[in-house]
Structure 1
Amino acid sequence: MAAPLELLLQRHSVPSRQLGEPAPDEATLRELLGAAIRVPDHGKLVPFRLVRLAGEAKLRFGERLAELAIRKQPELSEAKREKERLRYTFAPLVIAVVARLDDTSKVPEIEQRLCAGNVAYNILLGASALGYGAQWLTGWAAYDPDVAAILGLAANEHVVAFVHLGTPQIEVPDRERPLLDELLGTWTP
């Protein structure tokens, strides 16, 4: 195992329910996010932005989502209502990574989305490098236009990731990974 690649080889997601205090402090968070936004960006569009959910705001956000879920599915069980309400409260910090798509640009939409996705992944890698845990989650809320309105997103914006950040409360075992030889091919003319 090559030492320079150790971070990539050891990276894994920590379930949001297993992320506790402390989250990165403000200075560390700014350093982490500043590094995370250094992504490939065809056309220099900066097709992303970040929304912080912290403290009481996480609970309020979850309550709004639970209300919305109940309106959309009145038969939703009490357990699922509570799950929606508490979904964003486990990790001490959640960063919503938002794609801002410019449909007037020559840069294809998929490249703009991937750019935003790279920001989310860089947050995961950076958190791991700093000794924190993180999990990239989406779920129905990432794709719902009413949730986008709650977050104050514009018509050309959507959530690509809710990145939950904190300190791992457990040692997370690695999962089985795919074999490179089953994925790598060589094109020949």
Structure 2
Amino acid sequence: MPDALALLKTRRSVKPDQLSGPPPTADEIDTMLTIAARVPDHGRLVPWRFILFEGDHREEAGAAIASAYAAKYPDATGDQLYFETQRLARAPLVIGVVCSAQPGQKIPEWEQQLSGAAVAMNLLHAATALGYAASWLTEWYAYDRQVMRAYGLEDHERFIGFVHVGRHDGTPEDRPRPALADIVTRFEA
């Protein structure tokens, strides 16, 4: 297992179409989800959950995306609809992270949403620690109510994003990172 600081310093997102199989095993998925769920959760509300898209079910789930796309764009071509059908088939495993924030609680909804975002980030770190590459995406269908209903989301739920997990040959190219001097200030009274 890589050194924790080295892993945190070098984690990179990899585009879903650059990920290949084999997918994580059931035990590895359980490990990733267990690690993902170890986040601050004020009030112990567990305001998030997971949906796994695996195997042939990825394309079946993609049919819901294509259907929503066709409803938005009635003139969509067959190629465009096929592309939409493949959205969740680009990586061997896709994990939908769902925000189930509970309004009216002592803990503000915003904090509950942030807890869900921490879940997605932990999921990326867990995948990397297990030797996989991953990418957290929120493409148009993450915000589409028709797609949300097709995947069983309740009216108060929404997607935090989809984490695509697979194997990647080589070292992913890094992007420029901000200089600390540009993003850090120190409060002085």
TM-score range, shorter chain: over 0.9
Query: What is the aligned-residue RMSD (CA, Å)?
Result: 1.3
Q: Which runs of 5+ in 1 are unaligned?
A: none
Work out the percentage of aligned pairs sharing the same amino acid: 39
Whether 1:103 aligns to 2:103 is yes
Deviations 1:9-32 (A, max 9, x none): 100001100111112100111011
Kindly indicate whether the alpha-carbon contact (under 8 Å) linking 1:13 and 1:134 is maintained by their aligned counterparts in 2.
yes
Displacement after TM superposition at 1:75 (Å): 2.5
Whether 1:20 aligns to 2:20 is yes
Displacement after TM superposition at 1:87 (Å): 1.1
TM normalised by structure 1 equals 0.94
Report the counterpart of residue 64 of structure 1 in structure 2: 64
C-alpha separation in 2, matches of 1:94 and 1:24: 11
C-alpha separation in 2, matches of 1:102 and 1:135: 27
Report the counterpart of residue 136 of structure 1 in structure 2: 136
- 1:24 aligned partner, one-letter code: P
Within 5 Å, give how 1:147-166 maps onto structure 2.
Answer: 147-166=147-166
Deviations 1:70-124 (A, max 9, x none): 1111123444322211111111110000000111202111111111111111010
User: Secondary structure at the residue paired with 1:155?
Assistant: coil
C-alpha separation in 2, matches of 1:130 and 1:39: 19
Whether 1:180 aligns to 2:180 is yes
User: Secondary structure at the residue paired with 1:33?
Assistant: helix
Kindly indicate whether the alpha-carbon contact (under 8 Å) linking 1:18 and 1:170 is maintained by their aligned counterparts in 2.
no
Q: Which runs of 5+ in 2 are unaligned?
A: none
Displacement after TM superposition at 1:170 (Å): 4.5
Report the counterpart of residue 112 of structure 2 in structure 1: 112
- Structure 1 segments of 4+ aligned residues over 6 angstroms from their partners: none
Q: How many residues align?
A: 187
C-alpha separation in 2, matches of 1:32 and 1:184: 32
More moved, 77-86 vs 162-171: 77-86
Kindly indicate whether the alpha-carbon contact (under 8 Å) linking 1:59 and 1:85 is maintained by their aligned counterparts in 2.
yes
Deviations 1:113-165 (A, max 9, x none): 11111111101011111110100011111111111100111111111010001
Displacement after TM superposition at 1:33 (Å): 0.8
